[in-house]
Structure 1
Amino acid sequence: MIVLYIVIISLFTTGITATSNCLQKIKEAKRNAVKYQYPCGLPSPENCCIFKENPFDQSPCGVYKMNNWCSGRLTVVGMYCDTTTDNGGWTVIQRRKDGSENFNRSWADYERGFGNLSREFWYGLKAINCLTKTGQWELRVDFELPDKTRSYLHYNQFRVGSASEEYPLTIGGFTGITSTDPFSTGGHNGQKFSTYDNDNDKWSRNCAVGVGRVKGSGGWWHNDCWHVNFNIPYNPAQYGCLYLSRKWFNPSWLEMKIRPLNCATE
């Protein structure tokens, strides 16, 4: 009986140790973002939702390497993961914060992406299409105004179409702490992407070339140019890129981020 008791205690202790070691390996694997199969039977990550799958994990926000099959073969790409906002799991696809990056870019640049993932960047239409093509994704836009007021927009439907379709936007299910849905009032849902060298908007001219005082307005899902364009030249003191409740707002900091719909409930 004593021998059996010792064996049971030993197995129990070994199980705890194995679990602890497994969790440590998971954390190390997430930090290192390895290209191969994760330890303990977890699949290799393909988006930032991986950081919600382990309640013991306290991974910081930052750039992580993720597996990517968009090209038809396995590659490793960098993603900036927001692991804290609204329980985390967000892949950041755009950021403006200081005007250090030029967003007056060509169609080719907007397709492949540009900038620095740790500063200002656009993740790339090809990559965003690959991530969201199932349609089961949500979008959150966090922003800060020059007076330090913070707010956000949230949509429970977000998808970017394929290159052959000119990357059309599907967006809906608005929630958030603002009273107005600028994507809806501006008619951006269903619009193809436009740049200065590929005009797909509904205006008689090209919204991405410039509107009024705003020159080099940047690539966007333009309709008749406004009410939303997060890629206009950075100038919080002057230009408005967000129309809410009959007022123009000029964020000094802004992030667009996405995550799978089922990520929010895991």
Structure 2
Amino acid sequence: MTWLILVSLLLLPVLLPSTSTENTTTNQSVEITEDFHDVTLKRDKNPSVVKYREKCTIPCELAAKLMKEERHSLCSDLQHSIVSSTRSTRKMIRDLIDEQQKSLELLSNQLLELVSKVSTLGSEVQRSNTETLSTKPVQSHGRDCSDIKETLYATVSKIPSGIYIIHPENTEYSFEVFCEMDYMDGGWTVVQRRTDGLTDFKRTWSDYMNGFGHLPGEHWLGLRKIFNIVNQKHTHFQLHIALTSQDDTTSYASYDKFWIEDETNFFRIHLGRYAGSAGDAFRGYEQEENQETAPFSTSDIDNDGCNPFCTFDGKAVESCSTHQNGTGWWFNQCGRANLNGSPLDQDQSTLPHMHWETWTKNGLPVQIKSVTMKIRRMDTPQNN
């Protein structure tokens, strides 16, 4: 179509002189005719101009017009494409947001359901444990581990060590203890154990009074429970301390007629005759460091006799518990024994810092790796 238009325009100057309608032509036609006539008259003088007029002037104008129209069409098409692409992108983003929102709602519902199930399961476990503790048959019951051994010995050839429930006489409640039944004829109630350093013995008065730790592992039974056991009528208890050094050497210290006073007297300790291979660190070497009859002390309840301070290893000390990293013990101006000692917070050593300074090797106190304090009846209780 474009070339047909061009040919028609080229033929117009030829047709126009022979017609009588010359005056009715458009300005563009007259202009083209005059240009073409001038070109005819000057053809011989300047052929290059004629060739340019014939081949360039009209086709270039039309080409520019066509290019403009084509450019407009391309711009229009591009604009439509951009609009369409934008709409598609927006729709895709909305769909993704909706899909993510649905996924989040689903995950939220699943999380709520899981939390509900965990809560229900926890309640069921707690109820089951309560029912089990209230209905399960006691493995063996007695006033202490010695009493349990005597009760079971007639029917069981080998009594296992483990956790038992005891109810000392004249007490209002039962509690669990760890009984050693295979150590030195058995019947031992464990009141303290240090083995791996996983239990923190840096504790306050309340913790030492009520007990803490894990019975099969490291633990402190509690001053109240110890008091209830050793103050039963017509009984005497032996305190046995089994020590193990860092090089796995063993030693022990034993005291007969061990007992402690009640809470109003801060559980003062009383010891009978000493026997053993580790030395009598409770009484020490000098009278002023004797811990016999000393009340129990912690960082918040200070009964150590340092008024206003005492000297320990050449240092002025106001509180033996604070000086030994907040642990509790029967301190008397600190003394030579503290089996509840623990490393200082800034100390990077793995040693537990337990003290039994009368156990020596080459003139120096032995470094203690583990210790167990246990008690056992010395005689059979009698009826009132």
* TM-score bracket, shorter-length normalisation: 0.7 to 0.9
Alpha-carbon separation, structure 2, partners of 1:200 and 1:247: 29
Aligned residues: 218
Residue 357 of structure 2: aligned partner: 243
Could you tell me whether the CA contact under 8 Å between 2:168 and 2:228 is conserved in 1?
no
Alignment of 1:6-17 (within 5 A): none
d(CA) in 1 for partners of 2:302, 2:216: 30
Normalization by structure 1: what TM-score?
Answer: 0.76
Partner letter of residue 281 of structure 2? P
Matched letter for residue 171 of structure 1: L
* Whole-angstrom CA distance in 2 between matches of 1:69 and 1:52: 16
Contact 1:166-1:193 at 8 Å conserved across structures:
yes
Is 1:262 aligned to residue 379 of structure 2?
yes
Measured after TM superposition, the shift of residue 77 of structure 1 is 1.1
Query: Distance in 2 between the 1:108 and 1:237 partners?
Result: 26
Distance in 2 separating the partners of 1:240 and 1:122: 14
User: Does residue 1:202 correspond to 2:299, yes or no?
Assistant: no
Q: Which of 239, 250, 254 is the aligned partner of 1:139?
A: 239
CA distance in 2: counterparts of 1:177 and 1:238, whole angstroms: 21
Pairing partner for 1:221 from 330, 355, 364: 330
Partners of 1:68 and 1:158 in 2: how far apart? 16
C-alpha separation between the residues in 2 aligned to 1:249 and 1:163? Answer: 33
Q: How does 1:153-168 map to 2 (within 5 A)?
A: 153-168=253-268
Alignment-derived partner of residue 25 in structure 1: none
Kept in 2: contact 1:52–1:87 (CA 8 A): no
RMSD: 2.2
Q: 1:18 aligns to what?
A: none
The worse-fitting range, judged by mean Cα deviation, of 233-242 and 101-110 is 233-242
Query: After alignment, is 165-174 or 247-256 more displaced?
Result: 247-256
- Aligned twin of 1:21: none
Match of 1:188 in 2: 291
Q: Which residue of 1 aligns with 2:201?
A: 103
- Selected match of 1:33 from 119, 138, 141: 138
Unmatched runs of 5 consecutive residues or more in structure 1: 1-30, 39-43
Task: Give the letter aligned to residue 224 of structure 2.
Answer: K
- Partner AA of 1:243 in structure 2: E
Query: In 1, Cα distance between the equivalents of 2:290 and 2:188?
Result: 26
SS at match of 1:252: strand
For 1:111, give the aligned amino acid: M
Distance 1:187 1:149 in 2: 26
Q: Which residue of 2 aligns with 1:48?
A: 145
CA deviations 1:140-191 (Å, max 9, x no partner) are: 011111101111111112111100111100012100123x211111411100
Normalized per residue, the structure richer in helix is 2
Aligned amino acid, residue 221 of structure 1? W
Contact 2:161-2:182 within 8 A present in 1 as well: yes
Gap runs ≥5 in structure 2: 1-135, 310-317, 344-348
* CA distance in structure 1 between the aligned counterparts of 2:239 and 2:255, rounded to whole angstroms: 5
Between the aligned partners of 2:212 and 2:352, the Cα distance in structure 1 is 25
Identity across the alignment (%): 28
Q: Which sits farther off after the overlay, 91-100 or 130-139?
A: 130-139
Amino acid at match of 1:153: A
- Kindly state the Cα deviation for residue 215 of structure 1 after the two structures are TM-superposed: 2.8
Off by >4 Å, runs of 4+ in structure 1:
none
Conserved 8 A contact 1:236-1:251: no
SS of 2:329 mapped into structure 1: coil
In the alignment, the residues of structure 2 paired with residue 177 and residue 239 of structure 1 have an alpha-carbon distance, to the nearest angstrom, of 20
- 1:84-103 equivalences in 2 (<5 Å): 84-103=182-201
Structure richer in strand, relative to its length: 1
Q: TM-score, normalised by structure 2?
A: 0.53
Q: Which has the higher contact order (CA 8 A, sep 6+)?
A: 1
Larger Rg: 2
